[in-house]
C-alpha cells in the first residue's frame, strides 16, 4: 500500500486518553471539559430539531449564525466582517484547517509552522504535497525571533500557520508579534492560517490580537475558530473560517466537496444562544478561576509551572522530580499515581525533551482538587 501519510500514527491525545481510561486515571490530558454543556443550549438544539430544522443547511452555514459571528467581531474588535461573503461555518476547526490547507497548497509549496505545534498542521500539509518548515520555540517562553522567520522564507513559501493563543505553548502573542508577521507576509505575498480557537480563553486582562485586526494581514489570512472551545462542546465539531471575499470563494469551492454543509440544528441553537456578548467576557473569568486554582494548589509542589496566558492548558516542568524522558514520566504518572497529562515532546518534529507536561484545567473543581492532591505528593 502506497500510504500518503506513512509516518502517521494515533495522535497523542487519543493515546493518552485511552491510557487514562485503561488505568482509571484522572484525565487532564486531552483538552475537553468534564462539566456539562449549559442545559439551555441543549434545549435550543432539541427545540430546533422539533421545529424541523433537520435538513441540509446552506453550504456556507446558516445566515443567522454568520450574522452572530459578524456581530461579535463588531462589538469585540470594532471590525466589520461580511457574513455573506467572508464567513463559512465548518465542521469544527479541524475541518477548517484541512480545507484552508487544501485550498492553498500545491505540491512543493513550503509552509512555515511554529513548534510546539498542534498535531494536524503537518500531516495535512504533507497530504497535499507541501513541505513543512518548522521553527522550534523553547519552553518556558516560546519567544519568536522574527528575523529567523524572515530567514526561513524562500521563493517556495506559500503559507505561515500560527496558533494564538498557542496550544500547547499557552502563550499569547503581542501586537508587536503580529506587526512583525504582517511585515513578512506582505513583503513576500504569503498567506496566513491563523488558528484562534482559544481566542476567548485569555487571562490577566490580556488582549487577543486577532489577525483580522491588522488590515494588511487580514487581506492574506484565514482566521479559524471553534465553538467546541467556546461553548464547552468539543464533541459537536462546529467552527468557522473568516477570510477575505476572494479567498472565501476559493475556500468554499473545497468546502463544498468535503462536507458541503454542517449540522443544521446545532447551528440554529448556537445562533440563538450567542445573543449576549457578555458570554465571551464571562468565559475568560470562568476559566481563569480554574487556572488560578491549579496554580495556587501546586504552588508548593515540586513541579515548576509556566502560568498560562491563554488556552485551557498549563505547562508543568518536573526537572526537580526526575530526569526521565517525558513519555516515561507521563506513563508513570498515569500508571502509578492516576493522573494523565500530555508530554510536550510529540508537538515537535524532532521530539524536543524539555521535562515538561501539559495539563488541561477545563475540569470541574472537584476533579482539579483531586489531581492537585496527587500531584503535590509526587
- Contacts with ligand PMP by CB under 6 A lie at 31, 92-94, 118, 163, 167, 195, 197, 226, 228-229, 234, 237, 239
Nearer to ligand PMP, 12 or 327 (CB): 12
- Cis peptide before 116, with omega less than 30 degrees from 0? yes
Q: 272 in helix, strand or coil?
A: helix
Q: Which residue of 167, 284, 288, 308 would you call a contact of ligand GLN, by CB under 6 A? A: 167
What are the two backbone dihedrals, phi and then psi, of residue 21, each rounded to the nearest 5 degrees? Answer: -65, -45
* Residue 93 near which of ligand PMP, ligand GLN, none (CB within 5-8 Å, type-dependent): ligand PMP
Q: Which residue of 25, 26, 31, 73 would you call a contact of ligand GLN, by CB under 6 A? A: 31
What are the two backbone dihedrals, phi and then psi, of residue 262, each rounded to the nearest 5 degrees? Answer: -120, 165
* Residue 13 near which of ligand GLN, ligand PMP, none (CB within 5-8 Å, type-dependent): ligand GLN
Q: Which residue of 30, 90, 100, 248 would you call a contact of ligand GLN, by CB under 6 A? A: 30
Nearer to ligand GLN, 93 or 270 (CB): 93
What gap in Å lies between CA 164 and CA 172, rounded to an integer?
Answer: 6
* Residue 30 near which of ligand PMP, ligand GLN, none (CB within 5-8 Å, type-dependent): ligand GLN
Residue 221 region by backbone torsions, left for phi larger than 0, else alpha for psi between -120 and 50, else beta:
beta
Nearer to ligand PMP, 119 or 304 (CB): 119
* Residue 268 near which of ligand PMP, ligand GLN, none (CB within 5-8 Å, type-dependent): none
CB of 320 to ligand PMP, least distance (A): 28
What gap in Å lies between CA 337 and CA 98, rounded to an integer?
Answer: 37
Q: Does residue 210 touch ligand GLN according to CB under 6 A? A: no
CA dihedral 317, 321, 323, 327 (to 10 degrees): -60
DSSP string for 170-224: -----HHHHHHHHHHHHHHT-EEEEE-TTTT-B-TTPPP--GGGSHHHHTTEEEE
The residue whose grid cell reads 430546533 is 48
What gap in Å lies between CA 71 and CA 269, rounded to an integer?
Answer: 16
Q: How far apart are the first and last CA of the chain?
A: 46
Q: Does residue 60 touch ligand GLN according to CB under 6 A? A: no
Cell, residue 320: 526537580
Residue nearest to ligand PMP according to CB distances in the complex: 92
CB of 337 to ligand PMP, least distance (A): 25
* Residue 239 near which of ligand GLN, ligand PMP, none (CB within 5-8 Å, type-dependent): ligand PMP
Q: Does residue 13 touch ligand GLN according to CB under 6 A? A: yes
Nearer to ligand GLN, 13 or 348 (CB): 13
DSSP string for 355-376: SEEEEE--S-HHHHHHHHHHHH
Nearer to ligand GLN, 11 or 376 (CB): 11
CB of 115 to ligand PMP, least distance (A): 13
Residues near ligand GLN (CB under 6 A) are: 11, 13, 30-31, 167
Amino acid at each position: 500500500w502506497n500510504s500518503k501519510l506513512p509516518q502517521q500514527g494515533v495522535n497523542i491525545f487519543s493515546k493518552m486518553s485511552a491510557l487514562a481510561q485503561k488505568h482509571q486515571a484522572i484525565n487532564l490530558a486531552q483538552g475537553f471539559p468534564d462539566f456539562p454543556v449549559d442545559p439551555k443550549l441543549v434545549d435550543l438544539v432539541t427545540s430546533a430539531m422539533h421545529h424541523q430544522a433537520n435538513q441540509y443547511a446552506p453550504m456556507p452555514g446558516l445566515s443567522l449564525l454568520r450574522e452572530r459571528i459578524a456581530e461579535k467581531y463588531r462589538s469585540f474588535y470594532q471590525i466589520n466582517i461580511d457574513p455573506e461573503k467572508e464567513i463559512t461555518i465548518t465542521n469544527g476547526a479541524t475541518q477548517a484547517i484541512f480545507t484552508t490547507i487544501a485550498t492553498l497548497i500545491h505540491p512543493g509549496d513550503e509552509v512555515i509552522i511554529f513548534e510546539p505545534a498542534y498535531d494536524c498542521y503537518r500531516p495535512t500539509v504533507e497530504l497535499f504535497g507541501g513541505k513543512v518548515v518548522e521553527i522550534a520555540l523553547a519552553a518556558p517562553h516560546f519567544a519568536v525571533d522574527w528575523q529567523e522567520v524572515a530567514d526561513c522564507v524562500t521563493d517556495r513559501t506559500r503559507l505561515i500557520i500560527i496558533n494564538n493563543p498557542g496550544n500547547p505553548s499557552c502563550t499569547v502573542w503581542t501586537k508587536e508579534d503580529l506587526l512583525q508577521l504582517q511585515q513578512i507576509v506582505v513583503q513576500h505575498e504569503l498567506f496566513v492560517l491563523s488558528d484562534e480557537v482559544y481566542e476567548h480563553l485569555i487571562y490577566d486582562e490580556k488582549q487577543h490580537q486577532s489577525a483580522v485586526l491588522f488590515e494588511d494581514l487580514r487581506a492574506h489570512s484565514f482566521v479559524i475558530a471553534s465553538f467546541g472551545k467556546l461553548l464547552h462542546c468539543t464533541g459537536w465539531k462546529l467552527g468557522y473560517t473568516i477570510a477575505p471575499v476572494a479567498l472565501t470563494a476559493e475556500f468554499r469551492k473545497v468546502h463544498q466537496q468535503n462536507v458541503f454543509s454542517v449540522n443544521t440544528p446545532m447551528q440554529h441553537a448556537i445562533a440563538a444562544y450567542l445573543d449576549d456578548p457578555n458570554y465571551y467576557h464571562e468565559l475568560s473569568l470562568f476559566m481563569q478561576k480554574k487556572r488560578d486554582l491549579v496554580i495556587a494548589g501546586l504552588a508548593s509542589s515540586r513541579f515548576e509551572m509556566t502560568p498560562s496566558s491563554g488556552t485551557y492548558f498549563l505547562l508543568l516542568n518536573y526537572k526537580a522530580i526526575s530526569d526521565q524522558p517525558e513519555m516515561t514520566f507521563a506513563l508513570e504518572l498515569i500508571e502509578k499515581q492516576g493522573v494523565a497529562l500530555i508530554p510536550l515532546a510529540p508537538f515537535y518534529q524532532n521530539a524536543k525533551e524539555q521535562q515538561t507536561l501539559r495539563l488541561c484545567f477545563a475540569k470541574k473543581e472537584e476533579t482539579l482538587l483531586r489531581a492537585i492532591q496527587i500531584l503535590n505528593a509526587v
